[in-house]
């Protein structure tokens, strides 16, 4: 079936966009049985439903004419749940009706309402907007609905989920009873059925099966990941597919901010979309994706509604969606307009059952596997470099002259190696990823050996999962090492998980060459294998475009830092402090409380806090340099019964 049944100006616009065959939902709304009737349509995201209702209402708006008359009160009203979706619909209808001289006006939240008021006053044939902003214009008398012939509710189920039921009812009650209503929804929950019964008349119901809709071109993959490797899996999946544009979904704004920072630190061109951004910030982020300045977008579900990127070939679910409908909406951002797309779910072991349920309820047969490994990605990089378009471009005289100069100074092998380095320099480094199945079987088969290795600090994976503000679980290297210091610490939110890749990138080393990482308040000290220490020290002297953190070698290995609870009570002793109390006071000290708060040893001295933990019931400490009890201070006796206190005599 072709688009021959549409009006000539719309057929011309479709031909210019290479629309030669309608999608199933487009064919259904153009069927003779659906002509002129209210429609209740179930179609998935990416199935071409925007063009579908644009074609379906053409006969009501234009009739037999090929062009619109001068714009006045709007003839059609389209309601969409989010700003991005409304603006996308605005763009689609603008090109579809451009040869019919159609004027399309958008009214969405976050934009200047006075400008929208002026555009409505100037006249419009079609108005597209979000529920809240449209209701505001209706209440203020800026939107005239007396001439409406068609009302479209796009993604009506999502508007119900977002709490727009009262707004939708207010809009529908403000329209003429003779208007035609087209209701598009991914699913038909009870709320949608009730809305259709109340505001539609003899609606013609159309259901497009998921396999026949926009998801037929999506390749679903489920990847097993360890709980601490989700971030690394996102990096490797992005590097493995190297899609022109990719969308990564998280469930919370905080997760979006964290993942965006992690990807930026690794060298990805990434933007974020969440509900806390202003409309101007969201518009700029989407524009950077469309023009190629950014290649990755990290977003929440609500913020990503309506995103339509022509080159979006990859969707990653960093957090599993809450239900099958959300997963389909997410995945529907790719595989559009005949393009192939990939949807990847990252599944920790604890979420395996939920992932299976989501896939089963969605009727999706996903391919299960593990995350791409670093060796696989490097092999692909080699193949992509050999096929790079730069080798297909025609040489200019300047290029040939420079090539001759290079060959005169360097060997072909040196030039090729330099070209390979330049190619790799623009690519983020892949991450080492552990298969959660391997970890589970190893700990079950040889648990005792694993515990012994953990005690020695040999488990490198623990470094990647260290908590913010904590040092690495590894405290030494089996080989000779050299210590370095970075001028950043806890006060600037230093974390081992992003310090580690930064150190590798700055020094051109591998994670296996890094030992302990100790983070203090203002600095971070870390251990580098002596094998690569010289080259590391040379490379960190070069300026870095991505960060300005100063890194310098330490003259000697630092001492292990005492635990926080011990540091709080440890004495501050310097040279000459041993006899300070004796010089100040010659009174006998047989019963004096020792300066070091520990248990007495057999020689009559005290053991340091490194050997004994501080007594939990001590409530007071002596003044610095004073070895006896604080004068006039009531101390809790460690042998007294609970609730009672024993006073020591003054003097």
Whether pLDDT at 339 is above 60: yes
- Provide the terminal-to-terminal Cα distance of the chain, rounded to the nearest Å: 106
Instruction: State the average pLDDT over residues 58-81.
Output: 91
Q: Are residues 249 and 298 in the same domain?
A: yes
Which has the minimum average pLDDT: 61-75, 460-474, 604-618? 460-474
Query: Under DSSP, is residue 359 helix (H, G, I), strand (E, B) or coil?
Result: helix
Residue 6 is predicted with a pLDDT of: 67
Whether pLDDT at 558 is above 80: no
pTM across the whole model: 0.54
Q: Across the chain, what does the average pLDDT equal? A: 78
Question: Looking at residue 142, which CATH number applies to its domain?
Answer: 3.40.50.300
Whether pLDDT at 541 is above 50: yes
176 occurs within a structural domain: yes
* Count of domains observed in the chain: 4
Instruction: State the average pLDDT over residues 510-520.
Output: 86
Query: Under DSSP, is residue 208 helix (H, G, I), strand (E, B) or coil?
Result: coil
Q: Which domain holds residue 141?
A: 8-212
Give every strand in the sheet of 296-299, ordered side by side. 270-273, 296-299, 245-249, 312-317, 341-347, 218-224, 367-370
Over residues 451-498, the pLDDT tens digits come to 444 444 443 333 333 333 333 334 456 678 889 999 888 888 888 878
Q: Are residues 223 and 190 in the same domain?
A: no
Over residues 580-604, the pLDDT tens digits come to 333 344 444 444 444 444 444 444 4
Q: Are residues 56 and 173 in the same domain?
A: yes
Q: Are residues 84 and 166 in the same domain?
A: yes
Q: Are residues 108 and 144 in the same domain?
A: yes
569 occurs within a structural domain: no
Over residues 560-578, the pLDDT tens digits come to 554 444 444 444 444 334 3
Whether pLDDT at 638 is above 50: no
Q: Tell me how far apart the alpha carbons of residues 261 and 546 are, in angstroms, rounded to a whole number.
A: 12
Token pair of 376, please?
């696989």
Cβ-contact 168, 159 below 8 angstroms: yes
Residue 215, Cβ density class (10 Å: 0-12 exposed, 13-18 middle, ≥19 buried): buried
Residue 548 is predicted with a pLDDT of: 72
Q: Are residues 53 and 200 in the same domain?
A: yes
Q: Are residues 202 and 228 in the same domain?
A: no
Over residues 530-540, the pLDDT tens digits come to 888 888 888 88
Residue 320 is predicted with a pLDDT of: 93
Band the pLDDT of 191: cuts 50, 70, 90. confident
Q: Are residues 85 and 120 in the same domain?
A: yes
Question: Looking at residue 531, which CATH number applies to its domain?
Answer: 3.30.70
Beta strand 296-299 with 245-249 is parallel
Residue 86, Cβ density class (10 Å: 0-12 exposed, 13-18 middle, ≥19 buried): buried
Q: Tell me how far apart the alpha carbons of residues 427 and 411 are, in angstroms, rounded to a whole number.
A: 25
Band the pLDDT of 291: cuts 50, 70, 90. confident
Q: Are residues 254 and 320 in the same domain?
A: yes
Whether pLDDT at 357 is above 60: yes
- Which helix (H) or strand (E) segment holds residue 191: the answer is helix 190-199
105 occurs within a structural domain: yes
- Which helix (H) or strand (E) segment holds residue 117: the answer is helix 113-122
- At 370, phi and psi to the nearest 5? -110, 165
As a whole number of Å, the CA-based R_g of the chain is 34
Over residues 84-97, the pLDDT tens digits come to 888 889 999 999 99
Instruction: State the average pLDDT over residues 492-505.
Output: 84
Q: Are residues 257 and 359 in the same domain?
A: yes
Q: Tell me how far apart the alpha carbons of residues 638 and 193 are, in angstroms, rounded to a whole number.
A: 72
- Which helix (H) or strand (E) segment holds residue 127: the answer is strand 126-129
Residue 163 is predicted with a pLDDT of: 84
């Amino acid at each position: 079936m072709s688009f021959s049944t549409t009006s000539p100006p719309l057929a011309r616009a479709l031909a210019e966009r290479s629309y030669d065959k309608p999608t199933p939902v487009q064919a259904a709304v153009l069927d003779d049985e659906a002509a002129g009737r209210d429609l209740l349509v179930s179609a998935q995201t990416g199935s071409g439903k925007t063009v579908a209702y644009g074609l379906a209402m053409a006969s009501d708006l234009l009739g037999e004419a090929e062009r619109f008359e001068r714009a006045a009160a709007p003839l059609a009203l389209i309601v969409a749940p989010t700003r991005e979706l409304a603006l996308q619909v605005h763009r689609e209808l603008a090109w579809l009706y451009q040869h019919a001289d159609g004027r399309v006006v958008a009214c969405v939240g976050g934009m200047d309402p006075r400008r929208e008021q002026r555009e409505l006053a100037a006249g419009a044939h079609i108005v597209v907007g979000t529920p809240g902003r449209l209701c505001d214009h209706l209440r203020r008398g800026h939107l005239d609905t007396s001439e409406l012939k068609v009302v479209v509710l796009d993604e009506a189920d999502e508007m119900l989920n977002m709490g727009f039921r009262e707004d939708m009812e207010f809009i529908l009650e403000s329209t003429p009873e003779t208007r035609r209503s087209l209701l598009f929804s991914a699913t038909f929950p009870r709320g949608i059925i009730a809305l259709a019964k109340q505001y539609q008349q003899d609606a013609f119901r159309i259901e497009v099966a998921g396999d026949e809709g926009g998801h037929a071109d999506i390749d679903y993959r489920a990847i097993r990941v360890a709980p601490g490797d989700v971030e690394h899996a996102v990096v490797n999946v992005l590097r493995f597919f190297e899609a022109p544009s990719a969308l990564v979904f998280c469930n919370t704004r905080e997760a979006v901010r964290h993942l965006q920072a992690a990807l930026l630190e690794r060298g990805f061109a990434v933007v974020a979309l969440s509900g806390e951004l202003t409309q101007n910030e969201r518009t700029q982020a989407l524009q950077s994706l469309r023009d190629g300045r950014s290649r990755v977008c990290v977003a929440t579900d609500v913020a990503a509604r309506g995103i339509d990127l022509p080159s979006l070939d990859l969707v990653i679910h960093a957090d599993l969606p809450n239900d099958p409908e959300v997963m389909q909406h997410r995945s529907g951002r790719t595989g559009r307009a005949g393009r192939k797309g990939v949807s990847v779910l990252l599944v920790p072991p604890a979420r395996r059952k939920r992932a299976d349920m989501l896939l089963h309820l969605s009727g999706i047969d996903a391919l299960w596997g593990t995350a791409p490994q670093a060796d696989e990605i490097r092999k692909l990089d080699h193949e992509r470099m050999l096929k790079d378009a730069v080798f297909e471009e025609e040489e200019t005289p300047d290029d040939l002259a420079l090539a001759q100069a290079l060959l005169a100074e360097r060997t072909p092998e040196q030039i090729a190696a330099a070209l390979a380095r330049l190619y790799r320099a623009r690519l983020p480094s892949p991450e080492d990823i552990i298969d959660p199945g391997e970890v589970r079987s190893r700990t079950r088969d040889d648990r005792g050996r694993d515990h012994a290795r953990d005690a020695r600090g040999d488990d490198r994976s623990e470094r990647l999962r260290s908590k913010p503000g904590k040092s690495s679980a590894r405290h030494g290297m089996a080989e000779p090492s050299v210590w370095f210091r970075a001028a950043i610490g806890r006060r600037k939110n230093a974390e081992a998980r992003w310090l580690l890749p930064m150190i590798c990138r700055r020094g051109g080393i591998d994670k296996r060459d890094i030992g302990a990482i100790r983070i203090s308040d203002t600095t971070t000290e870390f251990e580098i294998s002596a094998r690569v220490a010289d080259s590391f020290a040379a490379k960190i002297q070069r300026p870095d475009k991505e960060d300005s953190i100063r890194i310098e070698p330490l003259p000697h290995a630092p001492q292990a830092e005492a635990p926080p609870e011990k540091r709080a009570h440890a004495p501050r002793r310097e040279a000459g402090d041993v006899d300070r109390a004796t010089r100040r006071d010659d009174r006998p000290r047989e019963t004096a409380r020792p300066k070091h708060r520990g248990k007495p040893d057999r020689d009559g001295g005290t053991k340091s806090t490194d050997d004994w933990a501080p007594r939990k019931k001590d409530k007071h400490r002596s003044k610095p340099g004073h070895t006896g009890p604080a004068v006039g201070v009531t101390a809790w006796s460690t042998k007294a019964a609970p609730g009672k206190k024993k006073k020591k005599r003054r003097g």
